Structures are given as structure tokens and as C-alpha cells.
Structure 1
């Protein structure tokens, strides 16, 4: 091998060594998902949103264990008006895009603090929108308000929410007009 061949091969290998890491790093970039409908593939995302709203505590399991994502998919697809479904889908797509730009990750892979901060920002947006539309005949509901409402209603109507998170009192039973309640007791189901 002569000197000219050696220099050409060394340059070729050096160039490859420079391009390869760039290609690997670009392939690690998170690309947001553009949803046209909610499917079972979205259940993990909705579970994480629900778990951030109603987290697991030492006293009771969180929304994820109550399978809140599956509940939300059914409720949104079967019970919401098409225009509300569109608001929620667009909002979830915006949430995914925001997480991709801000954290280069999906919402599901964020830390607990990052998830909380993202949802806190959404709550501030929803509050600002509600104040802006105060007094309107038909205000538009922010998608986070829908997700938060579904999380709370789904969690507290689940078996976990009704029997573990709340104090379960089976009915029928004898009538008691006054039931003692001490600070720190669970709410009644």
C-alpha cells in the first residue's frame, strides 16, 4: 500500500467515524405520534396522565391500577360528542408534541416531577381559557378539563376507588342519621 492509498482510506474511515455517531443520535430523537382516533395503544399514555392526577399513596392505589386509561378510551369514543372527541385528540397530540420538543421524550417516559409540571401547565392553560370565556353562551372546554374529569369519575367509580380510597358502607343497612367522622378518616362511598 502506498502513501496515497493510506491517506484516502484513513480519510474515509475518519469520515465514517464522524457520521456514524450523528446518525445514531438522530435516530434517538423522539417523534411525536399524530393520533386520528383513540385506540388501545393510547391506554398507557392515559394511564400515566391519570396516575399523575390521582397518584398511588401508601393508603390507596392510584388511577393506573384502577385501569383509568381503558376507561377513558371507552368513555371518549362511546360517550363524547364528535367535537369534544376532536378537542381531546388535538390536545393529546399537542401534549405529545410539547413533550417531544421540551424533553425529547413521550409523556410516559418523563419523571414524576416533569409529568407534574407538564400537567400543572395544562391546568393553568385550562383555567385561563375558562376565565377568558366567562359569560359566554357555549364556552369551549379545555381538553385537560375533560381528562381530569374522566380520571376522577373513573377512579371513584372503580372498585379500587369505591372500596380502598373511600370508606365503603354497604347499603342496605340500618339507618343511622349521625355517623361520627374524625379528621383523617376516608370519605364515604
Structure 2
């Protein structure tokens, strides 16, 4: 090996080793990735419960099993403007108090049917320019955005695209004499 290349590699490695103590690899800072959102771990868990209510686990994995809440937070953080992000986080902050007033309990301790009814009624909320109306509008926006991104993240996940409904980049071979009863799985993507 050339001596100059070896010295350059040695300098890069030693420089990298000098910076390792300043790096923090703890799992507590996972929410720091969403720099435009002020989301706590408990709010992320609540978002997971809501997305799991929208697409629960059954014969196939649910939204929480595929980590859709991370997808939702990344989409809100990266793809929405600051006003939409503010309305989303306000809805996320106000949702527990809405559930408490509607059902008298927190969201995680509700039964499945009660969770579904709370989410559906929250999506239909309408607000005016009063303080309570703005909260209702934010909750409705939060739940509708969560539902949209839950479905989008779930259907675009690797699990769905590879195991449940296999995606084919190009159409398969044409065979004009196939009986309809012989067709196996529907291909929704092509």
C-alpha cells in the first residue's frame, strides 16, 4: 500500500475517534429528529394508538406493527408548512382533553369500539373563531391528517408491498386465455 494513502486513512480514523465521545447515541433523543415539531414520547405513543385504531392488527400486521407513527411524524415535519404543523401539534395536544370530556377516560384505556367512535366524532368536529372552536378545528385537522398519513404509510410500507399485495414494476406476461376463476391475487398497483 502506498504510504501516503495509509497516512491519510490513519489521520481520518484518528480524527473520527476523537469525535466519538461527543456523540450521543441514547434512545431518549429519538424525537429530536422532528426538529419542526415539539412532540413528546407520550404524544408519539398516543399517535400510535390512534393509528392502530384506524388500521388495527388482525390477520395481517396493523399500523403500529409497521411503525406508521414515525412515518406520520416525518411527513408532518418534512412536507407540511409551519401553519399546518402548528395546527397538527395543537390538535395532538388538545386531543386527550377532548377524549376526557367525550368519554370521561383517557384514550388508551377505552375499548376498541369507543376508540373508533371518538376518532370518528373527532374527525367530524367543526369549529368557529372562538377558543373552543379553534381547538375543535385543530383536533379535526389532526385526526384527518393522521388518518390520511396512516393509510398512505401503511399502503406504501415494505410489508404491504412485498408480502400482502406484491408490487410488480412492469405488467406480467399477457395470457389471453386465462379463466377468471384461475386468477390468484388482485394486483392493485399494475
TM-score by length of 1: 0.61
5 Å-filtered alignment, 1:82-101, equals 82-101=82-101
- Structure 2 unaligned runs (5+)? 1-36, 128-137
- Aligned match of 1:132: none
Aligned to 1:145: 144
> What's the counterpart of residue 171 of structure 1?
169
Question: Which residue of the partner structure matches residue 106 of structure 2?
Answer: 106
The answer for the alignment partner of 1:133 in structure 2 is none
Give the distance between the partners of 2:171 and 2:185, measured in 1 at CA.
20
Deviations 1:138-179 (A, max 9, x none): xx98222211111011111111222344x2043346443878
Structure 1, gaps ≥5 residues long: 1-35, 130-139
TM-score w.r.t. the length of structure 2 is 0.60
Query: What residue number does 1:8 align with?
Result: none
Q: Determine which structure has more spread, i.e. the larger CA radius of gyration.
A: 1
Residues 177 and 37 of structure 1: is their aligned pair in 2 closer, same or farther, counting only changes over 3 Å? Answer: farther
Aligned to 2:77: 77
RMSD over aligned Cα atoms: 3.2
Which protein, 1 or 2, shows the higher relative CO under an 8 Å CA cutoff with sep ≥ 6?
A: 1
The whole-number CA distance in structure 2 between the counterparts of 1:37 and 1:164 is 35
> Do 2:51 and 2:68's aligned partners in 1 also have CA atoms closer than 8 Å?
yes
Residues 91 and 142 of structure 2 are in contact (CA less than 8 Å); yes or no, is this contact kept in structure 1? yes
